[in-house]
Structure 1
Amino acid sequence: MCFQNEHIPLMEKSRDTYATYPKYLVSEFATITYAKNRGQNNEAVINKAPYPGLTDTIRSGKEP
């Protein structure tokens, strides 16, 4: 493990010298439908695939 501070000059030089991953702006966005703190490492949070009407179920206040 090391601190990045020691390597910043090399990182800046590499950034300016070499090509990086393709950069593009994705002009998409989404509305956050449901936000609730379920705690860490809770496997029950996402335990099934999305289904038709899932967002309607969530918006109506029912548990998905």
Structure 2
Amino acid sequence: MKIVLDRPRCEGHGLCEEAAPELMHLDDDGELVLDREEIGDTDAAQAGAAVRVCPVAALRLS
């Protein structure tokens, strides 16, 4: 499974970072950085939570 970020859509709210801090973070400029794009079964719940909480639907799983 893979996390896909639609960077132009991302507004840097940080809710995804709260839901999945091991997978992503906001940098000093407020830009989302994916620490890992490939997600294993152990991280699937966090990845799914991050996708669900994004208010602008900038994340998806594929």
Structure (1 or 2) with the greater strand fraction: 2
* Greater RCO (Cα-Cα under 8 Å, separation 6 or more): 2
Larger Rg over CA atoms: 1
TM-score normalised by the chain length of structure 1:
0.23
- When normalised by structure 2's length, the TM-score is 0.23
